[in-house]
Chain A
Amino acid sequence: TQTVSQSDAHVTVFEGDSVELRCNYSYGGSIYLSWYIQHHGHGLQFLLKYYSGNPVVQGVNGFEAEFSKSDSSFHLRKASVHWSDSAVYFCAVSASSNNRIFFGDGTQLVVKP
């Protein structure tokens, strides 16, 4: 069974700062990795995903994530955050061999003006 861990429950930055939200997974086989964003009071929205190829994937609104097999990680980054980026971010992992997608516990990002 695959698992996903988001080590930071809360991250606070100032507008214009760069940010990295961490995601580590455990699974030995081929996997799909995704990031979703949840604004307060809303459902989750897809940001980006990775399966193969270029380990750096681009998403919406300037977000990107980098896959590292050696570190078992899929960290999300943004070079310059905006107040509207304040939300909860979920990392998700699914093995290519089964029908299950597992979500991390989420990281709450607060962007201060």
Chain B
Amino acid sequence: EAAVTQSPRSKVAVTGGKVTLSCHQTNNHDYMYWYRQDTGHGLRLIHYSYVADSTEKGDIPDGYKASRPSQENFSLILELASLSQTAVYFCASSDAGREGQNTLYFGAGTRLSVL
């Protein structure tokens, strides 16, 4: 069965600190995504990647960087964490092709609290 694994599952960070969220997929999918979910709201796309060593900006990239060192791994990096980045972060993968045309497979999420 396809699998997307995120680590850590939860994290408390201090304002101004560096945070790295990791995602690993065993789906053999080309596309990977990072979404942010705020309480009571839908998901917003931060960064995505369609091939290793390349990343693209999504709809809300400010304050975030992404890294795709291999097909299986995709990281989200907050260089200077801020209170406004407190949220749940989801990683997803999909087959090659356009994001909207393909089924997304999600990880379980990382709950980040910035204090």
Contacts and interface: CB of A to CB of B under 8 A. Distances in A.
A101 B104 contact: yes
B45 interface: yes
B101 A96 contact: yes
Contact of B103 (A49, A51, A90, A103): A49
Interface residues of A, number: 28
Interface stretch (B11-19, B62-70, B105-113): B105-113
A99 B106 contact: no
A100 B59 contact: yes
Contacts, number: 65
Contacts of B108: 41-43
Interface residues of B, number: 21
A32 B100 contact: yes
A100 B106 contact: no
A17 B71 CA distance: 44
A90 B42 contact: yes
A24 interface: no
Interface string A35-59: 0100001111110010100000000
Please name the 3 residue pairs, one residue from A and one from B, whose CB atoms are nearest each other, closest first: A94-B100, A43-B106, A103-B42
Given A43-B109, A46-B104, 19 more contacts: A32-B100, A34-B103, A43-B107, A44-B43, A44-B106, A46-B105, A90-B42, A94-B98, A94-B99, A95-B100, A96-B100, A99-B98, A100-B45, A100-B59, A101-B99, A103-B43, A103-B44, A104-B42, A105-B41
